[in-house]
Every structure is written in structure tokens, then in C-alpha cells.
Amino acid sequence: MEIGADLAVNANQQNNSRRSGNFPPSLWGCSFASFSFPKTEFESYSRQVEELKENVKDMLIKSKEDPVENIEFINLLCRLVVFEKFKDTNGEFKKTMMNDVKGILSLYEASFLSVHGEQILDEAHVFTRANLESSAMQSSQRLGDHIRNALIRPFHKGTPRIEARKYISFYEGDESRNDTLLKFAKIDFNRVQLLHKQELSILSRWWNDLNFTEELPYARDRIVEIYFSMNGIHFEPQYAFSRMMTSKYTKFISLVDDTYDAHASFEEIQHFTDAVERCTMDAIDQLPADYMKFKEVVRCYHAEAEWADKCHVPTFDEYVLNGLATSGYGAVMAASFLGLEEVAGVEEYEWLKSNPKIIKAAKMIGRLMNDVVGHEDEQNRGDCASGVECYMKQYNISEKKAIEEIQKMNAAVWKDINEDCMRPTKAPMLLLQLLVNLVRATEVIYANGDDAYTIPLSVKDYVSLLFIEQVPLCD
């Protein structure tokens, strides 16, 4: 199927009755496409990493002699949340904690690992957040900034690569820092950054060569932002193929989404949906899971288009059932398994297809966070009712109250995710971690009431931090 041609749906025709997303152009132009990989610099970083790796291993082995030192060292390596019981014999949080800002911060971070029925961590969250808000104003600038960052986005809800980069800067200001470990972290970050920048350059050239920006001008030109999100799922060098393929696959899903939501007439949508439904190419039929086909996603896009055409506002429950597919997360998750043959085979695709709790939770967060930040713009351009409007109608409540209730749902499904990661499942931990990271990337994209995919200014600094600015090395 000629996807580009089919998506065009008379894109160049001037028709005043067409809807338009009026999406801003790419922030990056050809800046990444022109990148030339510095082989000598990369090889130098690699040699230093290998040398320092042995030193770090030796320090880890020596730290085992002292259990407390060992825990602190592992914390620095993995950036864990490590905490003790902070309650006294009366079941109240210890008053001595008030002077232990770092202890309160650790407990606050740990509270995001809560599962259903975990009352202590829920109480700890309320207690620690209130204390940290006041402590941030009374602490040193370095510690205050660290606290404020945690209040905006806790470590558990941040993507690993961003959190690592921020923590390098924070740790550098620690008087008791381990300089060998700091140097190791900096050089390794810069080394991996070069690989990521090369991948982004390849993707940018691929996207430019397709010329879809000219052929489909109504669509969001966001290949950099897509790669930014896919990099958040798994950043390790050995998963380059997975990142590249998932980025390409997600870009095509985005094109279809924009065609349905921001350009095509309902008649054109019907023709395109029928064309996808009739698609029976052997290569597509042999894919291991239904999520790898466009059919389910397109079918649900069509349902939303029909609701919009008929000005129908479904119940919230009906909307969510359809919306879990239109979030695109099922397809993205399946695509992200590519290149992970050592852990993702037929059984794992079947597990994904069975829609377990953690998968439903990830789709729910993706769908509803998008709805909360984007529903006003969507209504202005004539989209179908979002989850916010459907919730308002079903429960006869205000927009503000509906958003509050949806945000509570998101907090609850995070507990579903935590539960599935802590209890035995059929899926390997690597795949569970991948899914958690996908939700973390969602948290970053839709942070602070923004839709950084549609209006990417809010993640511009993160893109620069991860793919442009090298970490300054120690003298």
C-alpha cells in the first residue's frame, strides 16, 4: 500500500471547509540531518569508559565491606530510592525527620512506588510534599533546585536519560562526591549521546527524503520529538534498531492521526478506512500481533470521526473503550519489541495482545493525559468529544471537576503499573521496564498542562540537553 499517497487525500486542494490543526512547523529544521558522526571522539570516549569501568567495579566490590557504604554506592550508580521506616511507635511520622531534608526527599520519592492499599506510602506522600514545599525555600540554592525538580517530576515518573543528566549536575555540587564515578558518568553520557545524535540524524534524513512535510503540510512535523519519546523508552546503545523502527512506525501513526483529526472530510475518511480494512498483503498478515497492523487503530479513528460528524458525545466508558486504541500505545508497544528477540518472542506478543493490567494502564494514561491538555484545541477544530467532555456529560459535572477526576484516575492506574512490576508476571522485567518508560515519556510530553508533541517548545531544552549539549568534563 502506498501509504504516503493514500494519506495525501487531496492534501494540496484548497478547500475552506476543511478542518485545520494549524500546527507550528518543526523547531529543528535540518539541524540534525546535517550531523557528521565524530568517530575519533567516540573512540576516545569508549576507551576512557572501559578504563573507568574497572575502577568503578573495584569500588563497588570494596564497598561491600561496609553495608551502609554499599547501599549508598549502589544508590549513586542506579539512582534508587532507598528509605527506612519513618514512623514512630504511635504510628506518626517522626518529628526528628523535620530536620532531615534528604530523608524526607527520599521518602517522597518512594511514595510514588505505592500500590493499591499501601496506606503508609500514601500518607507519606501528603506529609513529605507539604514539608518539601517549605524546605525548598529554606535550603541552599543547589538543594532547593533539586527539591523543586522532584516536586515538578519525581524520579519515578521521569525518563531515565533526563533524570541521569540532571542528577550528574546535582551530584557534581556535592562536596562528598566520588570524582571517579562522576567522571565515569560524564564520559559515558557524552559517548552515548553521540550514538543517539547519529540515530536522530539518520531518522531526520529519512524523513526529509520522504518529503511528507511538503506533500502533507497539514500534519505535525515532529520526527525529533518522536525520537525523543522513543529514546525515553530505552536509551541503551544495543537497542538502536528498536528505537529507529519504533520512531518510524510512530511517525506513520501520527500521520494517520492528523489526517483523521485535522484534514480529511468524513467521506475521505470512510474511503481511507475501507482501503486499510481491505489490505491483505501477505507481509502484513504474517505480522505476529494485531497491534502491528494499522487496522485496529484506523477502525477506532473512524469511530471518532463518525462521532464528530454526527456531533455525538458518547459516554465516558464508551469513549475510553475506543480511546485506548486511538492512543496508539498498543501499536507503539508492539513496535518497541522489535530488536528484542532475546526476550520478546511469540509468547510475549501474545501477552501484549491479551491486554494485561499494565498495558491497559499505560494506554489509559496516554489517552487521558492527551485529552486533558489538548481537548480545548481539539474542540475548536471540530474533533469528536474528548474524555473530558464525555466525563462532563456522563456525570453532569463541570470541566474543572472532570479534569480533577481524570487526574485521580491516572494516579490510580500508576498503582496498577507498580503492582504489575512488583508481582510475578509472564513478561520479562525488561519488557515491563520498557512499558514503564513509555508512560514516563508520556508524563514528560504532557507535563504542566502542555502538549509538547503538538507545541514542542516545552521540551526544546530537554532535546538540547540530551542530543546537543555535551556534559562539561572535569579538568
User: In the numeric block, which cell numbers belong to residue 63?
Assistant: 564497598
Q: How far is CA 289 from the centre of its chain?
A: 22
Produce one character per residue of 116-141: b if its CB has 16 or more CB atoms within 10 Å, e if not: eebebbbbbbebbeebbeebbeebee
Please, which residues have CB within 8 angstroms of residue 244's CB and are 6 or more apart in sequence?
199, 202, 203
**Helix H or strand E segment including 200:** helix 179-210
**Cβ(136)–Cβ(147) below 8 Å:** yes
Distance (Å, whole) CA 432 – CA 75: 21
The helix (H) or strand (E) run that includes residue 144 is: helix 141-152
Fold for domain 189-468?
Farnesyl Diphosphate Synthase (1.10.600)
Among residues 194, 181, 190, the alpha carbon closest in space to that of 52 is found at 181
Supply the pLDDT for residue 287.
Answer: 45
pLDDT in tens, 307-348: 988 999 999 999 999 999 888 888 899 899 988 888 899 899
| Residue with the three cell numbers 495525501 | 8
Write the single-letter amino acid at 237. Answer: P
DSSP string covering 26-59: PSSTTTTTT----HHHHHHHHHHHHHHHHHHHHH
Confidence (pLDDT) at 14: 44
Contacts of 280 (CB under 8 A, 6+ apart): none
Helix (H, G, I), strand (E, B) or coil at 93: strand
Contact 20, 450 (CB under 8 A): no
Cβ count near 369 (within 10 Å) = 22
pTM of the model: 0.87
Q: Give dist(CA 72, CA 64) in Å, integer.
A: 11
Helix (H) or strand (E) holding 457: none
Domain boundaries, given as residue ranges, for the chain: 39-180, 189-468
Cβ neighbours of residue 28 closer than 8 Å, sequence gap 6 or more? 204, 224, 463
Contact predicate 32/224, CB 8 Å: yes
Q: What is the DSSP letter of 87?
A: B
All three cell numbers of 286, joined, read 504474517
| pLDDT < 70: residue spans in the chain | 1-21, 60, 63-80, 82-98, 280-293, 382, 474-475
Distance CA 224, CA 201 (A): 9
pLDDT at 405: 96
- Which string of DSSP letters, residue by residue, matches 107-139? HHHHGGG--TT-HHHHHHHHHHHHHHHHHHHHS
Phi, psi dihedrals of residue 87, rounded to the nearest 5°: -100, 150
**pLDDT number for residue 80:** 30
Identical fold, 39-180 and 189-468? no
Nearest to 210 by CA among 244, 242, 246, 251: 251
Looking at residue 261, what is its pLDDT?
A: 86
Q: At 265, which helix (H) or strand (E)?
A: none
Q: Alpha helix locations (H) across 211-345?
A: 212-215, 223-233, 240-262, 266-278, 282-285, 295-309, 316-326, 329-336
The fourth-level CATH superfamily of domain 39-180 is: Terpene synthase, N-terminal domain (1.50.10.130)
Of 471, 470, 386, 464, which Cα lies nearest the Cα of 225? 464
Judge contact between 243 and 344, C-beta under 8 A: no
- The span from the CA of 303 to the CA of 266, in Å, is 11
Check: CB of residue 381 under 8 Å from CB of residue 21: yes
